[in-house]
Amino acid sequence: MNRFMPGNSIGLLRNGAEYFPALIAAIDAAKDEVWLETYIFADDVAGRAVAQALVRAAQRGVIVRVLVDGWGAKLYLTPALERFITEGGVQLMKYRPEVAPWQFRSHRMRRLHRKLCHVDGEIAFIGGINIIDDMNTPGHKPPRVDFAVSVRGPLLAPIAQTMQRVWAIVEFTQLKSSDVPLFPETLHAPRAGTQTAKFLIRDNLRYRSDIERAYLAAIRTARTEILVATAYFFPGADFRRALIAAAERGVRVTLLLQARVEYRLLHYASRALYGQLLAAGISIQEYHQSFLHAKVAVIDDKWATVGSSNIDPYSFLMAREANVFVRDPTFADRLRLELLTMIETGARPVPPQRWAERSRLTKAASWIAYGIVRIAMGMLRYGGDEWWRGRDAARK
């Protein structure tokens, strides 16, 4: 799984406005099977449209399997929509459905955060877009910003394999009979284009650090530019050191981060790291126009990634995630232009001097939040000293 494959056709999809029509068209064209994984499946305009496509497929004899996260389902999947999906012939399961917020146990944080779909072994979708409408952001009119990709070609093989394996594992742990093998045969997908890419997952067994290592390898070899856009930015010491080292050797490093407050504790905790990064010459742009839900990066106009993994302890240490990494100048250039347009039209830079001169109360709030998150992660037994080391250097 951890290797680049040539011969793919990979298309960039921005927001639900491009993603959902492509996804629904693929489902409507399905002949044999549809596999879908998502953290959130909301009962809104987008969710109902996708649900209707899934049911249409099931009713014409296509095998349709949908796996949703137990926590995401508890928050967004209504009983009415769940009933419509299952009564329509779709096989629906929930990943770790045992959700009890009042019980503080580490395994309850191991969620299915991936957003994947593959249809007939011919086309797949990977990204950060949940099955939820772009406008489903209470109190904010501009649509949420996120990305996904469509994939055709040999890269379909590991995508299909990991989806089948996780489905079989969930059935096994929930004591359900299954016709899906725990060790599925490898799909052989023909070449469909000229792009080279690899598909990586993050889990709690064999692939605990693959996504983070791929990021670090690209950052450490970067020569001209690193452009990262992520909703939640709370990197460990290795990641921070790699970014700082890149800036020190003359690489232009830009972080496009979320300005709007969604989870207050994480928002202030992540800002505790700004001082160290700004002092190293890293540019931080905060996106104000709408909610930033993207998890993408471009390095040196030839390397790019799109997926579900944020750069924070949740994504790198706990959740199941999935990213595609593309080595192709044309794809990287398109994603880079999208991010630069977002910076130009909807972001504001964080001035290093003004940041250093912020009030003591603001500084204290950030470090208190940082401490709370660190203690919480320690109680959950995630992240050793290596993840956090460098905290004192960041306190600027």
Same-domain check for residues 257 and 139 = no
Beta bridge partners, 5, equal 197
Distance CA 376, CA 372 (A): 6
Asked if the structure places residue 62 within a domain, the reply is: yes
Same-domain check for residues 26 and 163 = yes
Same-domain check for residues 180 and 219 = no
Same-domain check for residues 219 and 104 = no
Say which of 120, 301, 333, 396 is annotated catalytic. 120
Cβ-based neighbours of 150, under 8 Å, separated by 6 or more:
10, 11, 13, 22, 26, 123, 124, 125
Say which of 113, 118, 238, 312 is annotated catalytic. 113
CB distance 304 to 326 below 8 Å: yes
Same-domain check for residues 64 and 149 = yes
Say which of 43, 69, 115, 198 is annotated catalytic. 115
Same-domain check for residues 361 and 253 = yes
Same-domain check for residues 143 and 258 = no
Catalogue the E-assigned strands of 185-267: 195-202, 225-230, 252-258
Asked if the structure places residue 315 within a domain, the reply is: no
Q: Which two tokens stand for residue 378?
A: 């320690």
Q: Which two tokens stand for residue 108?
A: 């309850």
Asked if the structure places residue 322 within a domain, the reply is: no
Same-domain check for residues 145 and 267 = no
Asked if the structure places residue 10 within a domain, the reply is: yes
Same-domain check for residues 360 and 286 = yes
Asked if the structure places residue 221 within a domain, the reply is: yes
- List per-block mean pLDDT (blocks of 10 residues) for the chain, which spans 396 residues: 90 97 98 98 97 98 97 94 98 86 56 96 97 81 91 97 95 87 84 97 91 97 98 91 97 94 75 90 95 96 96 87 98 98 96 82 80 71 59 46
- Is 28 labeled as catalytic in the residue annotation? no
Cβ-based neighbours of 367, under 8 Å, separated by 6 or more:
272, 395
Q: Which two tokens stand for residue 274?
A: 């700004």
**Structural domain ending residue among the three candidates 176, 202, 228:** 202
Give the structural domain span for 147. Answer: 5-202
Count of structural domains within the chain: 2
Instruction: Give the global pTM.
Output: 0.92
Q: Which two tokens stand for residue 127?
A: 């990204």
Predicted pLDDT of residue 101: 52
Distance CA 71, CA 73 (A): 5
CA distances 143 to 134, 138, 139, 164, 324, Å, are 5, 11, 11, 33, 24
How many Cβ atoms are within 10 Å of 272's Cβ, its own excluded?
A: 22
CA distances 297 to 250, 337, 392, Å, are 18, 12, 27
Asked if the structure places residue 9 within a domain, the reply is: yes
- Is 31 labeled as catalytic in the residue annotation? no
- Is 115 labeled as catalytic in the residue annotation? yes
Same-domain check for residues 193 and 231 = no
Say which of 94, 118, 198, 295 is annotated catalytic. 295
Say which of 133, 203, 293, 312 is annotated catalytic. 293
Asked if the structure places residue 186 within a domain, the reply is: yes
Predicted pLDDT of residue 381: 56
Say which of 300, 301, 302, 333 is annotated catalytic. 300
Same-domain check for residues 61 and 196 = yes
**Structural domain ending residue among the three candidates 179, 202, 225:** 202
| CATH number, position 291 | 3.30.870.10
Same-domain check for residues 144 and 255 = no
Determine the 3-state secondary structure of 186 from DSSP. coil
Asked if the structure places residue 29 within a domain, the reply is: yes
- Is 300 labeled as catalytic in the residue annotation? yes
**Structural domain ending residue among the three candidates 202, 232, 257:** 202
